[in-house]
């Protein structure tokens, strides 16, 4: 923090014009988030009969039998491969990676390539691809900031900050997590938690979230999560869990880095998503929870409704199929897949721990595991903790064990490599191979 007694804004001056652009970026991001989620929910309805944005996608997939479950993923592969190939071919050199333009560029994004990437991504995720839905609204929020900054003739530093605010606001809008979105902007996209960053980040995320309520619900993303009570057994377990999650998170980040730098290229990319999604479809005949971003499996873990065998299988298979989708050339988010993997891992290890020291509900272990995994995976413990709390509107009594597990996991993952699920995907330098 720059406090106390420091009132300067740094390179990005928070002028009156800049604040107007923050509001405009928030409004545009919220509307674009609504549009992208409308597209996603429409595809989910066409593919699996999901009705409304509050319906259970996983339950609809599970109810779809045989070919009705497999065909949408095959359609996703047949559509996504050629679509991404053509988009990349006809927009060479254009930027559509928020992290890359912020960390290695001037914050300029291509509207055409970004919009095409976002639309294709939401279509294939709606059809069942194992990727996060938040990447598209994050990207289009950042594009909004880039375009508004260009129109207002802001300085390069102001433009980068506005692009970062728009990216975090995109996450906030579609998940109804304004605080988490602001911390995502500060901790991850900017890398500094100070007043000149957090103030516009909060404002942009708050405006975007409020505007998104025009279509999206204002309640928590994960409903009916109990208010789990604190206990000593949870604290002891968190001390043991943190190092385990830290090592596993570092391995997961390395895997993401490897598949990102070895993804299918050239004409092979036309058919690679079809092959990857076909493999996912076969595996998911047994585990329908693997379809989509992992929201359903995380909810199952948060309410403690699964079995030891189910959670063990999902904790291994979800990272595998997500990495497979990435290596095929598909684009999408990693936030929910990473968090859901942490939730089912926490539930699995929590059930095992309960045989030694029974008494705490499985859902409490899942929430601690989710916070530790996403905090370590993003290398952003504050954002990870805030996001789990906002997504569930629960877990405040578990704050101490959640902090313990998240701090240990993040510190160990940082000690091993220091990369995150976002930096590992940058074109250079590449992380250490698996």
pTM confidence score:
0.93
CA 216 to chain centre: 18
CA–CA dist 329, 270 (Å, integer): 9
Question: Cα–Cα–Cα angle for 5, 8, 10, nearest 5°?
Answer: 135
Please tell me the total count of domains within the chain: 2
| pLDDT tens-digit map of 188-239 | 999 989 999 999 999 999 999 999 999 999 999 999 999 999 999 999 999 9
Residue 51 falls inside a structural domain: yes
For the stretch 361-381, pLDDT in tens is 999 999 999 999 999 999 999
In a domain, 3, yes or no: no
Structural domain ending residue among the three candidates 212, 242, 276 = 212
Look up the CATH number of the domain holding residue 419. Answer: 1.10.3080.10
Instruction: Please indicate, yes or no, if residue 106 is contained in any of the structural domains.
Output: yes
Q: Is the peptide bond before 4 cis (omega within 30 degrees of 0)?
A: yes
Q: Which domain holds residue 113?
A: 16-212
Contact 197, 190 (CB under 8 A): yes
Write out pLDDT tens, residues 256-274: 999 999 999 889 999 999 9
Q: Are residues 203 and 292 in the same domain?
A: no
Q: What mean pLDDT value characterizes the chain?
A: 93
Q: Are 143 and 153 in contact (CB under 8 A)?
A: no
Closest Cα partner for 131 from 324, 292, 341? 292
The DSSP 8-state label assigned to residue 289 in this structure reads G
What does the DSSP 8-state code read for residue 186? Answer: I
Domain co-membership, 290 together with 388: yes
In angstroms, the CA 361 to CA 357 distance is 11
- Is there a contact between 61 and 288 (Cβ–Cβ < 8 Å)? yes
Residues 291, 382 within the same domain? yes
Among 20, 4, 31, 390, which residue's Cα sits nearest to residue 203?
20
Please tell me whether residues 255 and 340 are part of one structural domain.
yes
pLDDT in the model for residue 429 = 42
Q: Is residue 260 part of a domain?
A: yes
Sites in the chain below the pLDDT cut of 70: 1-7, 52-55, 427-434
């Amino acid at each position: 923090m720059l406090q106390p007694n420091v009132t300067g804004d740094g390179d990005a001056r928070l002028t009156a014009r800049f604040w107007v652009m923050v509001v405009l970026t928030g409004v545009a991001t919220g509307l674009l988030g609504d549009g992208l989620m409308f597209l996603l929910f429409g595809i989910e309805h066409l593919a699996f009969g999901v009705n409304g944005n509050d319906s259970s996608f996983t339950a609809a997939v599970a109810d779809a039998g045989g070919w009705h479950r497999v065909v949408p993923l095959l359609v996703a592969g047949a559509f996504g491969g050629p679509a991404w190939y053509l988009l990349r071919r006809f927009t060479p050199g254009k930027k559509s990676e928020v992290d890359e333009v912020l960390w290695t560029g001037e914050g300029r994004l291509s509207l055409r390539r970004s919009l095409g990437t976002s639309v294709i991504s939401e279509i294939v995720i709606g059809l069942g691809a194992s990727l996060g839905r938040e990447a598209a609204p994050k990207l289009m929020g950042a594009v909004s900031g880039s375009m508004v900054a260009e129109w207002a003739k802001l300085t390069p530093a102001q433009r980068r900050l506005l692009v970062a605010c728009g990216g975090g606001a995109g996450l906030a809008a579609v998940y109804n997590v304004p605080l988490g979105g602001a911390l995502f902007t500060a901790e991850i996209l900017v890398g500094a938690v100070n007043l000149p960053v957090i103030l516009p980040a909060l404002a942009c995320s708050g405006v975007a979230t409020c505007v998104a309520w025009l279509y999206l619900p204002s309640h928590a993303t994960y409903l009916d999560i109990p208010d789990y009570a604190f206990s000593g057994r949870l604290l002891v377990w968190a001390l043991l869990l943190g190092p385990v999650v830290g090592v596993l998170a570092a391995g997961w980040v390395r895997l993401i880095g490897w598949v990102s730098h070895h993804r299918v290229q050239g004409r092979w990319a036309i058919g690679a998503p079809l092959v990857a999604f076909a493999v996912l479809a076969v595996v998911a005949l047994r585990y329908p929870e693997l379809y989509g971003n992992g929201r359903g499996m995380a909810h199952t873990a948060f309410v403690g409704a699964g079995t030891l065998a189910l959670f063990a299988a999902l904790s291994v298979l979800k990272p595998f199929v997500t990495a497979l989708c990435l290596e095929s050339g598909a684009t999408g988010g990693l936030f929910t897949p990473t968090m859901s993997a942490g939730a089912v891992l926490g539930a699995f290890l929590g059930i095992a721990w309960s045989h030694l020291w029974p008494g705490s509900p499985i859902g409490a272990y899942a929430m601690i595991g989710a916070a530790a995994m996403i905090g370590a995976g993003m290398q952003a413990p504050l954002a990870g903790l805030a996001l789990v709390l906002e997504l569930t509107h629960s877990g405040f009594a578990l704050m101490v064990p959640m902090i313990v597990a998240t701090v240990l996991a993040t510190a160990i993952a940082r000690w091993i490599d220091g990369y995150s699920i976002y930096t590992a995907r940058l074109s250079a330098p590449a992380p250490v191979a698996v």
